Amino acid sequence: MGNINNVDIITCSIRRNSHPKAVNALLIVDVQYDFIDGSLALKNCPSQHQGEQVIPMINKLLKDIHFDVVVYTQDWHTHDHISFFDNLHLRAHLLAKDSKQAHELNVFDTAIFLLDDPRPLRVEQILWPAHCIQHTHGAELHKDLNIIKPTKTRKIINLLKGYDSNIDSYSAFWDNMKIRETELHSKLKAHNVSQVFIVGIATDVCVYFTALHALENGYKTYLIQDACRGVDETNINLRLDELKGRHCSVIQTADVKDLI
pLDDT, tens digit, for every residue of 124-169?
Answer: 999 999 999 999 999 999 999 999 999 999 999 999 999 999 999 9
Same-domain check for residues 31 and 107: no
Across 206-219, average pLDDT:
99
Residue 161 catalytic? yes
**d(C-alpha 201, C-alpha 47), whole Å:** 12
The answer to whether residue 122 sits within a structural domain is yes
Give the angle 147-192-142 at the CA atoms, nearest 5°: 15
Please identify which of the residues 34, 45, 75, 161 carries the catalytic annotation: 161
Q: Examine the pLDDT at 221 and tell me if it is beyond 60.
A: yes
Q: What is the mean pLDDT of the chain?
A: 94
**d(C-alpha 226, C-alpha 138), whole Å:** 23
Give the angle 215-220-224 at the CA atoms, nearest 5°: 90
Same-domain check for residues 89 and 203: no
Same-domain check for residues 179 and 250: yes
Q: Examine the pLDDT at 249 and tell me if it is beyond 60.
A: yes
pLDDT, tens digit, for every residue of 102-129?
Answer: 999 999 999 999 998 777 899 999 999 9
CATH classification at residue 183: 3.40.50.850
**d(C-alpha 249, C-alpha 253), whole Å:** 12
Please identify which of the residues 45, 68, 164, 206 carries the catalytic annotation: 206
Domain count, the chain: 2
Same-domain check for residues 155 and 225: yes
Same-domain check for residues 102 and 217: no
Look at strands 249-251 and 69-75 and give their pairing. Answer: unpaired
% of the chain exceeding 70 in pLDDT: 93
Q: Examine the pLDDT at 13 and tell me if it is beyond 50.
A: no
The answer to whether residue 2 sits within a structural domain is no
Same-domain check for residues 109 and 139: no
pLDDT, tens digit, for every residue of 158-183?
Answer: 999 999 999 999 999 999 999 999 99
Same-domain check for residues 149 and 198: yes
Same-domain check for residues 122 and 212: no
Residue 206 catalytic? yes
The answer to whether residue 89 sits within a structural domain is yes
Q: Examine the pLDDT at 41 and tell me if it is beyond 50.
A: yes
Look at strands 155-161 and 69-75 and give their pairing. Answer: parallel
Same-domain check for residues 173 and 150: yes
Domain boundaries, position 95: 85-127
Residue 117 catalytic? no
Same-domain check for residues 121 and 150: no
Same-domain check for residues 38 and 112: no
Contact (Cβ atoms closer than 8 angstroms) between residue 168 and residue 162: yes
Same-domain check for residues 106 and 209: no
pLDDT, tens digit, for every residue of 48-58?
Answer: 999 999 999 99
